[in-house]
Amino acid sequence: MNIDLSRRGFLRLAGAGVAATSLGAMGFGGAEAAEQAHVRAFKLATTTETRNTCPYCSVACGIIMYSKGDVKAGETAELIHIEGDADHPTNRGTLCPKGAALKDFVHAPTRLTTPRYRAAGASEFQEITWEEALDKIARALKDDRDANFIQANEAGVPVNRWTTTGFLAASATTNETAWLTYKTVRSMGIVGFDNQARV
């Protein structure tokens, strides 16, 4: 069962409690306050906890992410730690060698941070704005669809098929992304549609 007291709150209370009781019991009355003043708070006590699931395999272990800053409150949040969620029925707090290193996946040096464009024949990418990239894509889609959309087959049966553009969907995006992707791809008539489950 979940307890109302969060792990972070529990750590803070427990930490302060241990320092206060043991010092008090040993009779250091005046020293107590001074000692408490420089006991460093637990690092995680100042973080925001967020429940998530591991993005790797489909065991879907529960994880707790610790961030400086709160996304929900509109703050910039930096992820500083990830651990297994002890409340989760499947993994009960454990993680494998991949899940245990998840934080460093999020911070991988090869994460993409800006849209890039490679021109025909070019040997390097160049940065491009989102506006330029999205306009380019929309234009290419419209032009290719208008040029190659098959409205009817030879027998005159309406088939509304577009085979010259294809879409390979993901494997770790959310259901919600999947549904929006489905609507987008299908409404245009794209039939070259597949996802990672194929392999």
Partner 1 sequence: MTNSWTDIKNTDLVVVMGGNAAEAHPCGFKWVTEAKAKRGAKLIVVDPRYTRTASVSDFYAPIRPGSDIAFLMGVIRWCMENDKVQWEYVLNYTNAAFLVKDEFGWSDGLFTGYDEEKRDYDKASWDYKIGEDGYVLTDPTLQDPRCVWNLLRDHVDVYTPEMVERVCGTPQDKFLTICQMIGECSTPTKTMTSMYALGWTQHSKGAQNIRGMAMLQLILGNIGVRGGGMNALRGHSNIQGLTDIGLMSNLIPGYLNIPTEKEADWQTYLSTRSFKPLRPNQMSYWQNYPKFMVSFMKAMWGDTATAENDWAYHYLPKLDVPAYDAMRMFELMTHGKVNLYFCQGFNPLLSFPNRGKMTEAFSKLKMLVIMDPLTTETSHFWQNHGIYNDVDTAAIQTEVLELPTTCFAEDEGALVNSGRWLQWHWAGATPPGQAKHDTWIMAQIWTRVRKLYQDEGGVFPDPILNLTWDYADPGNPMPDELAKEMNGKALATVYDPADPTKVLAEAGQQLAGFAQYRDDGSTMGGCWIYAGSWTEKGNMMARRDNSDPDETGAYLNWAFAWPANRRILYNRASCDVQGKPWDPSRKLIEWTGEKWEGYDVPDIAPTAKPTEVGPFIMNPEGVSRLFSRGMMRDGPFPTHMEPFEAPIANVFNPRMRGNPVARVFESDAETFAAVGDPDFPFVATSYRLTEHFHYWTKHNPVNAALQPEFFVEISEELAAERGIERGGRVRVWSKRGQVWAKAVVTKRIRPMTCDGKIVHVVGIPLHWGFMGAARNGFGPNSLSPAVGDANVETPEFKAFMVNIEPAAEEPVA
57 binds partner 1 (CB under 8 A): yes
Choices 4-12, 21-29, 38-46, 77-85; region in contact with partner 1 by CB under 8 A: 77-85
Closer to partner 1 by CB, 20 or 141: give it. Answer: 141
Choices 4-12, 17-25, 26-34, 160-168; region in contact with partner 1 by CB under 8 A: 160-168
The dihedral over CA atoms of 28, 31, 37, 42, expressed in degrees to the nearest 10, equals -40
Q: Total number of residues binding partner 1 (CB under 8 A)?
A: 123
Distance of closest approach, residue 11 Cβ to partner 1, in angstroms:
18
- The span from the CA of 128 to the CA of 137, in Å, is 13
Which amino acid is residue 140, in one-letter code?
A: A
Closer to partner 1 by CB, 23 or 102: give it. Answer: 102
| 115 backbone dihedrals φ, ψ, rounded to 5° | -65, 140
Choices 7-15, 20-28, 29-37, 93-101; region in contact with partner 1 by CB under 8 A: 93-101
- The span from the CA of 158 to the CA of 160, in Å, is 6
71 binds partner 1 (CB under 8 A): yes
Distance of closest approach, residue 161 Cβ to partner 1, in angstroms:
5
Which amino acid is residue 37, in one-letter code?
A: A
- The span from the CA of 63 to the CA of 80, in Å, is 13
Distances, alpha carbon 12 to alpha carbons 6, 47, 153, in Å: 10, 12, 70
Q: Is 54 exposed, middle or buried (0-12, 13-18, 19+ CB in 10 A)?
A: buried
> Encoding tokens for residue 51?
């429940």
31 binds partner 1 (CB under 8 A): no
133 binds partner 1 (CB under 8 A): yes
126 binds partner 1 (CB under 8 A): no
44 binds partner 1 (CB under 8 A): no
Q: Which of positions 94-113 make contact with partner 1 (CB under 8 A)? A: 94-99, 101-102, 104-106, 108-113
